[in-house]
Chain A
């Protein structure tokens, strides 16, 4: 597609439930990133994919968070047993090759509210 596409755009879930957030990167982009943004805050790095592998998972906050990428394209971020502190905007981004200097383009985000 023309840009990074994320779904759902909004999700309200009950505490303790699992959620899946999907990201469709820009066609041909090999690098894919997940970030989290709490209300009024900056962007917190979660995980980076180059192709289907994740060389940097250093930002995942706990083992309840996981992500995968298949076919070098679509990625899914899964949050298990959601907690209220997981409420945030989850932003996906992609870039052409994943090197410093390659512009990273963001999607509009998935707004997650845990009640």
Chain B
């Protein structure tokens, strides 16, 4: 079936280093992508989004890259901090009422 999947289930980085979380999606009709951060016991928190007519978008300390040729999405976090430790989900949308399809998530662990 159609899915959005993540390459690495866990990622451990040193505080201050940059983090890269990858995601593959299967449907070329997807036109909108979001990254969410979920801390333990909380709901997903919006980080950054990107539309399919863009290949890069930057926020505060975060950058999302979209490669439609290989259907790949990545989230880059600069100068990773302990507060960034969480599970990160990518999700795609195909304008079916804006419904999001989620991947399994990558757990980011930041070592002090």
Contacts and interface: CB of A to CB of B under 8 A. Distances in A.
Interface of A: 4, 31, 33, 35, 41-45, 48, 50, 55-56, 91, 95, 97-109
Given A43-B44, A100-B93, A108-B42, A95 B102 contact: no
Given A43-B100, A50-B97, A109-B42, 13 more contacts: A4-B43, A31-B97, A42-B104, A43-B91, A44-B102, A48-B99, A99-B95, A100-B32, A100-B95, A103-B46, A106-B45, A108-B42, A109-B43
A105 B36 CA distance: 10
Contacts of A91: 43-44
Contacts of A56: 96-97, 99
Contacts of B102: 35, 42-45
Interface string B87-99: 0010101111111
A109 B38 CA distance: 12
A45 B101 CA distance: 7
B51 interface: yes
A99 B101 CA distance: 14
B44 A45 contact: no
Nearest to A101: B32
B75 interface: no
